[in-house]
Every structure is written in C-alpha cells, then in structure tokens.
Chains A and B, each alone.
Chain A
Amino acid sequence: MTMAIDGAQLELYFSGYSSTTTTATISTENDHDRGGNWNGWSPMVDWEALSGPLDDFQDLIDSMMDDGALMNQSNRLTPDTSNSMSASGTVIVDEETSCGDDLKGLRLVHLLIAAAEALTGLNKNRDLARVILVRLKELVSPNDGTNMERLAAYFTDALQGLLEGTGGIHSNKHHSETNNGPYHHHHRDDPQQRHHQSDVLGAFQLLQDMSPYVKFGHFTANQAILEAVADDRRIHIVDYDIMEGIQWASLMQALVSRKGGRPTPHLRITALSRSGSSRRFIGTVQETGRRLVAFAASIGLPFSFHQCRLDSDETFRPSALKLVRGEALVMNCMLHLPHFSYRAPDSVTSFLSGAKTLNPRLLTMVEEEVGPIGDGGFVGRFMDSLHHYSAFYDSLEAGFPMQGLARGLVERVILGPRISWSLARIYRVRGEEACPWGVWLAAGGFQPVKVSFANHCQAKLLLGVFNDGYRVEEVASNRLVLGWKSRRLLSASIWTSPSDPDL
C-alpha cells in the first residue's frame, strides 16, 4: 500500500550540515565482498555455534599443506641451506599479488581469532595470547597496508589492552582519557599522544563527508520526530547524549519551515550532562546549548535549552526534568554513532526505564547492529566485531579509495578507540547475553511506531549520495538498518510508550 508522499515531510536535511559537498565515487572494481565470506575463514571456531561452510577454507589449507607453502609463509626463515625447513617441493607465496594480500588478510584474521581464543577460550592461555599479539604487531601497522592490516592493528592493540588489563574502559571515563589509539606506547612521535581537538573535529567532519552513518541516524530520528509532532505547538526533546548537537540544527530548520500554515512551534531541548567528565574535544554541553540557542535565534525558532545533570553513577531521575503541560515529549537516544563515547549499559537502562515512566510521545533509538551470536561467547562476538568494523573500513575505502590519509585519521581518532571500547565491553560481559536495546524496549512494553514511507525514501536518497554499496533495510515496521553490502551496521528504531492514546 503506497502512501502519498507529503511533500512537506520529504525534506532533506543535508543543508544543515557542512558546506563541502560529498561526491560519491562509485568504485567499479574492488568489490571484494569481504563482508560476505567470513564464516568460512577460520578452522577453529565451534561450527555448531556459528553457521557457515568450512569447505572453502579447508581446501585452502590443504593446498597450503601439500605445497609445503605453509612452511614458507613465515618470512622470517632465512633461506638457509644448512637447515632447510622444506620437506618437499616448496611454493613461495608471492606477497605482492592481491592473492598475497588476501592470504595475508586471512592470516591476520586467524591470528586475531587465535589471540581472542587464547585470552578467553576454554583453554585460556595468557602466555600464548601474549606471544600471538607480539607476532601480530610485527605484521601490521595502523598506517600502512590494506584495510585488513590496519584494522588488525587496532584490534591487536585492543586485545593487548585487554591482556594487560589497562584497556579496560570504565563506564564514565571519557573518550580522550583512555587509550588513545594503537601503539600509544610505541608511537614514534609522541608517546603521550592524545587526540587534539582539531584532530577530532576534523575526523568527525571527514566521517560525515565520507559516509552516511551519522546522517542516517539523525535524519531517520528527526523525520520520525517531525511526523509525530506535526500538530504540536510545544515540543520537548530529552537528548540522552547531545554531543555537539548537530542533529538538532536540521530539525530546527525543518520546524521553522513547516508548510501548511502551521505556526512555528516552541522547541525545548533538555540535554543530559554527566558530572566529572571533561569533554575536552567536543566541548561541554553548555557550549552545545549556547550554539543551539544562537542558531535558533538566527532562524527565528522559539527555543530554550536545559541541562539535566546526572550523578556520577549516571542514574536518570525523571523527576529532575522540568516538564510542561501540553508539550509533546520526545526521548532521543543516540548510541554507538561512530564518534560517540562509550556509555555503560546501566546508564542506558536507567534512561530508558525513566523514559517509560514519562510516557513520551516518541522515543528514537539509534544503535549498533550486531550479528547473530549464538553461543560464540567472547570469540564469537570478537569475530562479529571484526566483521563489523571490516565492513566499516571497506565502506569508507569504497567511497574514497584515494583518500588514505583522511580515512587514516578517521580510523585513528574515531574508529580505533571505538574498537577498543567494543572489545572491552564484549570482554566484560562475556558469558552474558548481549541484548540490543530495541529488544529491551520491546520487552519493556514500548510500542513500535511505523517508519513512514517518506522516512524510508529519505534514507535511500541519502545513501544514493554515497557509494551504492550502502543499503537500507526495513527489518521491522519500526526499524531501518543501514548496512554495507551484506553487513548490517546501524539500526534506527522508533517507539512510543505503551499507554499513549495518540498512537
């Protein structure tokens, strides 16, 4: 059943963002669907838990064994005649071919998984994990090589952190206070390298220019909000993690230019702020507020900004909010956007539970999409994480194959730390069931709100600006998922509270 597209609602929100235009370069070659064949690449995982054919890999290893190529892949064996390791005719793998790249990538994946296994598996062996990580460090660098090699560098670093116990990310520790990227002990330039503000802003800008991740989350949420409050005069948005507030710029603009003769509503935004965290690089919540106030003034939108301070344990107390009778309440929960800080599950739970008691008109949730885990435990989730970020890297490369330095910056400043946090989180909760927040919301009685046809179209149009490897799927009536090729990456879902009579 097609819905008539309401032209008023089909506005694109690009204009509120950066001035540089994004040109999508469509890559004709380079279609290694690295996202697709992961399951066949490791011999060691319990295949009951993770489905996937084993045959491709077995053949590969068999051929390696027969040729004795296995023995020659170690490039540290010097061609020393007095102790030839080759028992039979040998095949030297030429590592300069792309075949070599793939083999190297394969090797790195195996080593990473072996390290993850050694760290947490049934036969836990920290000594073995240490040795594998040493080997990995010899093979990879965060700056050079293929996507897989750079990705492996960050994963190696993350695992190293877990092994040493220093990479543990505490729930309220801020992004810039933690392990800032790979080899921060070995970095040639500055062992105490921290991300400078300009680096972070630059990386964030680049991320937005090069990929639709940030915009997808914002636009989908904003469109749903606009539709839900179309006839309201007072709107109150409670934002769990406002960051730099860029989501709201375009929403505000859309409110001001509402068609159909509706008067411009009054917008109130309450941002949760955390005590004790010094957001050195993004700026404080106050700064965000000031910026939004100034922007609202400049476009003539009635606007007020509030902060709701959380305690150090980040418990959200709904009573701390200032509510006004008659306003449409929207709870906005952006998690896991690439440049976002890590938020502890307890904090999110607290927010969502509190949200329920407030009976909001709408609750928008954007979160990372993880793959099916089964009983894979840490290793399974590790592999999934590897898959996830590999798709991420691939998506960036596909769009901007020549801009290696730019991508490198994004990887270093944004993705690298994310990888560390992801792994730390997975490590800490291993043995427990990982539950997407959408599932939590459904179980908690929140009602799904259908994603409108217009919203879906908007998402498709957005992706069309970028590389055609991006996909948007409507996996549920209230949920859109952004993916790269066959890998789902980011989920945006819309909810309302159970007792709301309007919907």
Chain B
Amino acid sequence: MRFEFSRGSSQRGDRFFPSHQQSNDQVAAIDMQSNSSATTNKNQPQTSHTSTSRSSDSGEACGGGNKWASKLLSECARAISEKDSSKIHHLLWMLNELASPYGDCDQKLASYFLQALFCKATDSGQRCFKTLATVAEKSHSFDSARKLILKFQEVSPWTTFGHVASNGAILEALDGESKLHIIDISNTFCTQWPTLLEALATRNDETPRLKLTVVVTAGIVKSVMKEVGQRMEKFARLMGVPFEFNVISGLNHIGELTKEGLGVREDEAVAINCVGALRRVEVDERSSVIQLLRSLSPRVVTIVEEEADFSSSRYDFVRCFEECLRFYTLYFEMLEESFVPTSNERLMLERESSRNIVRVLACDEENGGGECERRERGIQWSGRLREAFSPVGFSDDVVDDVRALLKRYKSGWALVLAQGDNHESGIYLTWKEEPVVWASAWKP
C-alpha cells in the first residue's frame, strides 16, 4: 500500500515508517518501534479479515452478551454485590471448572475475571495484585519487554495510534523552537520517540536540542529504563540530534512532580506527553494533577488513554464490572484476531490485563502506588482538562498520517474524529466500530 504523503514540510508521513533502506544501526535502535522490518506481512487490505481459529468447535466470535462466560461472570458479580453466599460459591466453582487462561476467548475472560471476582469475594485483591505484579516484574527483562512491545506494535495499532498522533501534535506545536523539553509520562519504553527524533533530524532548518525526561510509574518499566536510555542516546547521536535523557522513577505518584524535579528551565519549550498516565492517578487527585501539569507551562500537552469508564462507577460494583467486562472482551478479542494463536506476547498482554482487572475490581481505593488503572472516557478527560487547558485539534496532516498508519494493519481499524460538542475533543481509534483508544492535544 502506498502511503499518502502529507502536504507541507518534508515527507513526514513516510518518515514515521522507516523503510528497508535504513542502516543497521538505525534499525537496531529503531527496532524499538513498529514497522521496522519489511512491510509485506502487514499489508493486508480490507478484503482479508483473517480471524484466528477458536479452540471451541463452534467457531463463534467471542464477546457479545450471549456467551456463557459473560453471563456467568455478570451473574457472579451480581451475587457478590448482593452477598448471596451460596450463589457466589456455586458460580465461582462453575467458572473455575470451565475457565482456562489457555483456552478460547471465553475461557480466558472467564479465567481472569474469575480471579478478580474471587479476590473480591474473599477480600484478597491487594495481596493477589501484589503477587501478580511481583511475579511479572521478576520475569521481565529488557529483551522480553522489547520483544513484547515490538510484536504488539507490529500486529496492532493500539499503541502506535497514540504515538503518531501525539508526535504530530508535538512537532507542530514546537515548530521553530531550538530547545525542546519533552516530558514523557508513560510506560511505553520510549518506543514513541525514535520517529520524532528522526523528524527533528530531517528538518531543513537547524536541528533543535531535545531533552527527554521520562517519568515512569510501572515497576516493570523502571528496571529496564537504563538500557532504554542508553539506546535512545545512541540513536540520537546517530541522528545527529543533541540529546539529553533523564528518567524519573522514584515517585509514588505523579502529584509529586515539581518543576525543579523535572529539570524544567525557563528557556525550554515544554511538551508534556501523557500516554496511559492519567488513569494511573487516583481519581480524587486527577484535578490537582492536571493543575500541576498546567503549572509547568507547556506549549502542548498530548493525552492518550484507553476508552473505558471504570471511574464514574467505582462505587457501583456491578456497573463497574460490566464496563470492565465489556472493555476487556473487546481487548481480548482484538488480541486474538491480531496475534497468531500460539503467541507468547499475547499471553503476556493478557496477563497484564488480568492484573489490571484485579486492581480495578478487587482493590480498595486508598492505595497509592501509581497503579490505579481507573480509566475514563475521552469525553470525561476532556471535561477535566478544560479546567486548565483548551483543546488543540489535530491538523489534517496529522490525521492523514494516522489514517496511513491504520492502513498498514488488518482491517477492522478506523479513525473517528470527536464530535466537538459536549466538550469532546481529539480522535478515536475504533476497532470493529467500537472506540478503544482516545488521543488529544491541549494548550494552556
């Protein structure tokens, strides 16, 4: 498929997706991001929607309200909320019999949600989550994390969608500045930045200096950031971009950030990039965190979040449960259709989800630790952000770039612009016409 080249300066659309002509060094560094290798396996036009085979003989698609797993799970959630002890016992038992993390979609959802329900019923969510997190951290390494991210970005635009949109907005907002400071509050292992660095390097005008300060909160990510940093520095050198890299990982939560702590200087043009960051802030602190971001005087703030609402229903277990089930059913289905059936990466992503599910459904609020995971929808975030910022629409160029990106994946993905009324802003990534990821840009 040919990309649509963007209008205006340079061939930015092309630059986001390095072709095979690049040198090995660049490939080595860029292999942290998507689409580094030959593009042949990704160009599956709309015609072939290959879905992975299901282990159940009927071959029905998973998700949807008629499936046994969602019915049992919902019933169990209701039973827990009603404290119907014998029903809880029976349903947990039945789910345990039928669930499997290695089975088909239904069985997996049953397995992971069962875990959360069990924890909820036995008040052991905290303990379970800690165990799962510890185990996951121990088994992660730079290599495994890198492999995971790469593979995921290769088969699905779930993460790259936000990267492309945000980079576009940042580059446009900081155009003409000579000293850039990007504050990256995310856990993406810096996979977003190589293309941005490339874009900076290929400008006709003088290449600006870039300082990248990464704020990480997930334990898994912390341990590998050193190596990530080294690679980023090496890549920047190759690109010829004056580069400074810092990691901030000692925080308990984002609210502790300060201008001095981040090393923000007066002569810098600041961009704040939040990918999956706001949902990790405790719900009651979200307003103050947004004010904090405002206090850093950024030129632009880019926000990427998954489209689900676990926040407004957080005191209503059943409602929260249903929304959680809805979202993760979509997610698991997407994973199943994107990866090959035997994919280990998919399994790791599913396990990550299982930790989040336990966290949302079975852990109490007052926890801290930056692992909140209570997502909100784009429209809800928009409402919050408007207290300190005003929205910046994505330019046509950026939207075109994102559409070009989506064409490189299996069919089912689309871009939808926010309505604009109801204070909505930004763009949505949709999968099978369901919005799943939201990206937006803001200025003071």
B partners with A:
yes
Which residues of A are in contact with B by a Cβ distance under 8 Å?
43-44, 54, 58, 61-62, 65, 70-71, 73-74, 76-77, 81-88, 107, 110-111, 114, 118, 123, 125, 127-128, 130-132, 134-135
Which parts of B121-135 form the interface with A (CB within 8 Å)? 122, 124, 127-128, 131-132, 135
Task: Tell me, yes or no, whether B238 is within 8 Å of chain A by CB.
Answer: no
- Within the complex, which residue of B58, B106, B119, B136 is in contact with A82, where a contact is CB–CB below 8 Å? B136
A62: chain B residues within 8 A (beta carbon): 89
| Structural contact, B106 and A131, CB atoms closer than 8 A | yes
Chain B residues closer than 8 Å to A118, beta-carbon distance = 68
Q: Is the CB of A82 within 8 A of B139?
A: yes
Chain B residues, CB < 8 A from A70: 92-93, 96, 118
Decide if B135 touches A81 in the complex (CB within 8 Å).
yes
Give A66's nearest chain B residue, CB to CB. B122
Chain B residues positioned under 8 Å from A85 (CB to CB): 115
* A65 near B122: Cβ-Cβ < 8 Å: yes
- A127-B66, A127-B68 are contacts. A83–B132 as well, Cβ < 8 Å? yes
Also in contact, A84 and B132, with CB within 8 A (given A76-B100, A76-B102, A127-B67): yes
Shortest CB distance B372–A (Å): 20
Given A65-B92, A84-B132; 13 other pairs, CB 8 A cutoff: A61-B89, A62-B89, A71-B118, A74-B99, A82-B136, A83-B101, A83-B351, A83-B354, A110-B93, A123-B75, A127-B68, A131-B56, A132-B98
Q: What is the CB-to-nearest-CB distance from B245 to chain A, in angstroms, rounded to a whole number?
A: 30
| Cβ A84 vs Cβ B96 within 8 A | no
Do residues A131 and B68 form an inter-chain contact, with CB atoms below 8 A? yes
When the two chains form the complex, which single residue of A61, A84, A132 contacts B131, counting CB atoms closer than 8 Å? A84
User: In the complex the two chains form, is B139's CB within 8 Å of A135's CB?
Assistant: no
In contact, A131 and B124 (Cβ under 8 angstroms): no
A-B contact count (CB 8 A): 85
Could you tell me the distance between the alpha carbons of A87 and B135 in the complex, rounded to whole angstroms?
Answer: 12
Residues of chain B with a CB closer than 8 A to A65's CB: 89, 92, 122
Q: Which residue of A lies closest to B128 (CB)?
A: A87
Q: Give the residue name and chain of the B residue nearest to A62 (CB).
A: B89
Q: Are B93 and A61 in contact (CB under 8 A)?
A: yes
Q: Which residues of B contact A128 (CB under 8 A)?
A: 68, 71-72
Contact A135 B97 (CB under 8 A): yes
Closest partner residue, chain A, to B88 (CB atom)? A65
The 6 closest A-B pairs by CB, nearest first: A128-B68, A87-B128, A87-B124, A82-B139, A127-B68, A43-B90
- Bound state CA distance, A44 and B96, in angstroms? 16
Interface on chain A toward B: helix, strand, loop, or mixed SS? helix
B119 to chain A, nearest CB (A): 6
**Contact partners of A88 in chain B: CB under 8 A:** 122, 124, 127
Q: Is the CB of B93 within 8 A of A82?
A: no
Interface residues in B368-395 (C-beta closer than 8 Å to A): none
22 residue pairs A–B, Cβ–Cβ below 8 Å: A43-B90, A44-B90, A58-B89, A61-B89, A65-B89, A65-B122, A74-B96, A74-B97, A74-B99, A76-B102, A82-B139, A83-B135, A86-B131, A87-B118, A87-B122, A87-B127, A110-B94, A118-B68, A125-B68, A125-B71, A128-B71, A128-B72
Closest to B127 in A: A87
Distance of A61 Cα from B128 Cα, bound (Å): 21
Provide the residues of chain A in CB contact with B72, threshold 8 Å.
128
Interface of B is mostly: helix
B86 at the interface (CB under 8 A from A): yes
**A contact residues around B100 at 8 Å (CB):** 74, 76-77
B58–A130 touching, CB < 8 Å = yes
User: CB-nearest residue of chain B relative to A80?
Assistant: B101
Residues of B within 8 A of A132 (CB): 94, 97-98
Chain A residue nearest to B55 (CB atoms) is: A134
- Nearest CB in chain A: distance from B155 CB, A: 21
| B94 proximity list for chain A (CB < 8 A) | 110, 114, 132
* Nearest A residue (CB) for B134: A84
Q: Are B139 and A81 in contact (CB under 8 A)?
A: yes
Closest Cβ neighbor of B354 among chain A residues: A83
What is the chain B residue whose CB lies nearest that of A83? Answer: B351
Instruction: Please report which residues of chain B, range 281-309, place their CB below 8 angstroms from some CB of chain A when the two chains form the complex.
Output: none
Q: Identify which of A70, A71, A111, A132 gathers the most chain B CB atoms within 10 Å of its CB.
A: A70
- B98 contacts A73, CB within 8 Å? no
A42, closest chain B residue (CB): B90
Q: Please tell me which one of the listed residues A82, A83, A123, A135 contacts residue B98 in the complex, with CB atoms under 8 A apart.
A: A135
Give the most central of A82, A111, A125, A134: most B CB within 10 Å.
Answer: A82
Q: Is the CB of A84 within 8 A of B68?
A: no
Given contacts A83-B351, A125-B68, contact A73 B96 (CB under 8 A): yes
Q: Which residues of A are found within 8 Å of B75, using beta-carbon distances?
A: 123
A287 → chain B closest CB, angstroms: 44
Question: Chain B nearest CB: distance from A76 CB in Å?
Answer: 6
From 72 to 98 in chain B, residues with beta carbon under 8 angstroms from any chain A beta carbon are 72, 75, 86, 89-90, 92-94, 96-98
